[in-house]
Amino acid sequence: MWDQFLWVIFPYLSLVIFVLGHIYRYVYDQYGWTPKSSQMFERRMLMWGVLLFHWGILFVFIGHVMGLLVPIEVYRAMGVSDHAYHLLALWAGTFFGVIALAGILLLNMRRWFISRVRTNTETMRFITDGLLLVVILSGLFATVGYRIYAAQYDLPAEFEYRENIAPWFRSLFYFAPQAELMLEVPLMFQVHVLLAFVLFALWPFSSLVHVFSIPLGYLRRGYIQYRSSNPQAARARERARRKGQQVPRPERSRNVE
């Protein structure tokens, strides 16, 4: 019963919450669909964190699609050997996984250690960002750590997850789940899979829903113009900036009694 819960009931429960939660969120909370901007509180760590995380996780996602959704027989029919595939998965997966890890680590540090960002961050954002960090760490640990573990116990260096995890994952969508395929999977891979399904269950109730927003409207939207309350001072600062001079700070208004 425990195995059935972990590898049948819990995955289906997570996927149902994932689908229905997005529908509910789209119908009743469209104004909260996009994440709140915190750029005004801190820019540098946000820029590097977002850049590294989004590019890293994009290629990590592509790698998971290639490994989980494409059957192993397709690669063998194409002439791609198992060893060549695992070498590509090891080096490319580790490279982009480290990039994604560096990005989400910066974003987590920014939320926890910069007081203004921390004060204006919702609890769910702390949870999902922290969970993303743990999921990526567990994935890297499974990818690299298994080889270290296998070398110590004289096991095959390459764990063929395309013969157990991938068929099990696809069987969920066939509505014929094969829980027995996950029983012999190493613990580090099992933990990574379960953490990913926890993330799927929390996804609809967090800012991660913006992944499904395609900003096509930006292609035809006009520029937004911001006007200063002190045009003369704004022009002076702009001229100084173009000449490479020190930009004068705007004077603060004083209350005169």
* pLDDT tier for residue 41 given thresholds of 50, 70 and 90: confident
Summarised one tens digit per residue, pLDDT across range 47-86 is: 999 999 999 999 999 999 999 999 999 999 999 999 899 8
Torsion sign, CA atoms 7, 8, 9, 10: positive
Q: How far apart are CA 144 and CA 183, in angstroms?
A: 21
Token pair recorded at residue 21: 């939660």
Asked whether residue 179 is domain-assigned, the answer is yes
Asked whether residue 234 is domain-assigned, the answer is no
Asked whether residue 11 is domain-assigned, the answer is yes
Asked whether residue 35 is domain-assigned, the answer is yes
Summarised one tens digit per residue, pLDDT across range 211-251 is: 887 665 655 666 655 566 677 777 777 777 777 766 555 55
Q: How far apart are CA 208 and CA 21, in angstroms?
A: 12
Asked whether residue 241 is domain-assigned, the answer is no
* pLDDT tier for residue 254 given thresholds of 50, 70 and 90: very low
- Give the rounded distance of the alpha carbon of 51 from its chain centre: 12
pLDDT for the residue 57: 94
CA dist list (Å): 145 to 44, 142, 182, 192: 32, 5, 19, 12
Token pair recorded at residue 48: 């590097």
Judge whether 198 and 210 are in contact, CB under 8 Å. Answer: no
b/e per residue 36-65 (b: at least 16 CB within 10 A): eebeebeeebbeebeebbeebbebbeebee
CA dist list (Å): 89 to 75, 83, 184, 196, 230: 13, 10, 21, 19, 56
**22 labeled binding residue:** no
Average pLDDT of span 124-146:
93
Token pair recorded at residue 157: 């260096």
Asked whether residue 256 is domain-assigned, the answer is no
CATH at residue 84: 1.20.950.20
**83 labeled binding residue:** no
Asked whether residue 238 is domain-assigned, the answer is no
Least confident segment among 24-28, 67-71, 89-93, 239-243: 239-243
Asked whether residue 152 is domain-assigned, the answer is yes
Number of domains present in the structure of the chain: 1
pLDDT for the residue 197: 97
Give the domain extent around 93. Answer: 2-224
pLDDT for the residue 122: 87
Residue (of 25, 74, 76, 16) closest to 211 by Cα position: 25
**210 labeled binding residue:** yes
